């Protein structure tokens, strides 16, 4: 019987393999961070779309005006949109929980990677949906900005008077998102 020879990996071979692997991982890191930033932006915008659609649906189903806002206190709107939302029935349309109004949903914050701001006609810090599924004359837009303020990953969601939401996908020549007027999104 012949003896079997065990063959191992030499130190030089191991160093070469580690060098190749580290170069590959190093070249993938920037792409991965861009992928992660895009994914966070998409997740944040989808979170807002879900909240708007839920509010609209609740208004139609309950045949009552519903208000979506970021709570500042337990009964008053005016908080930060990215820190969580509430949806409540708003019978007198004053954007406060009072009288026979009741909270329909607490929507917990999903966004810890940036901010979300609501800019609306009449500068109101809430969004109301009527029983017909329309906004209460409050067309406007939500803007997501990443925490590092990199505008390339900013996103805009436009809400029209009919209560429909659409994401703006327009970009300028440098790849930065722009609004419908061709201006860079403000973070």
What CATH code is carried by the domain that includes residue 38? 3.55.40.10
Residue 186 located in a structural domain: no
Residue 173 located in a structural domain: no
pLDDT tier, 28 (very low <50, low <70, confident <90, very high otherwise): low
At residue 177, what are phi and psi to the nearest 5 degrees? Answer: -70, 140
State the total domains in the chain: 1
pLDDT at residue 123, as a whole number: 84
Q: What is the pTM of this model?
A: 0.82
140, 70, 46, 64: which is closest to 102 by C-alpha? 64
Structural domain for 162, as ranges: 12-168
Q: Compute how many other C-beta atoms are within 10 angstroms of the C-beta atom of residue 33.
A: 10
Residue 6 located in a structural domain: no
Q: Compute how many other C-beta atoms are within 10 angstroms of the C-beta atom of residue 177.
A: 21
pLDDT at residue 126, as a whole number: 95
Our separate counts of H helices and E strands in the chain read 1, 8
Give the pLDDT mean for 166-181.
Answer: 91
Answer yes or no: is pLDDT of 151 > 70: yes
């Amino acid at each position: 019987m012949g003896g079997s020879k065990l063959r191992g990996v030499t130190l030089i071979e191991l160093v070469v393999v580690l060098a190749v692997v580290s170069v590959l991982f190093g070249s993938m890191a920037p792409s991965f961070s861009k992928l992660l930033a895009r994914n966070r932006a998409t997740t944040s915008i989808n979170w807002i779309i879900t909240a708007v659609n839920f509010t609209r649906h609740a208004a139609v189903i309950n045949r009552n005006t519903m208000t979506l806002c970021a709570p500042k206190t337990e009964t008053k709107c005016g908080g930060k949109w990215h820190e969580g939302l509430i949806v409540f029935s708003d019978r007198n349309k004053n954007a406060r929980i009072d009288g026979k109004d009741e909270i329909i949903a607490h929507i917990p914050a999903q966004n810890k990677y940036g901010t979300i701001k609501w800019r609306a006609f009449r500068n109101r810090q809430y969004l109301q949906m009527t029983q017909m599924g329309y906004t209460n004359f409050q067309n406007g837009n939500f803007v997501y900005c990443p925490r590092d303020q990199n505008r390339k990953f900013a996103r805009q969601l436009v809400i029209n008077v009919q209560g429909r939401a659409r994401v703006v996908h327009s970009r300028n020549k440098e790849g930065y998102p722009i609004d419908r007027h061709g201006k860079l999104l403000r973070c």
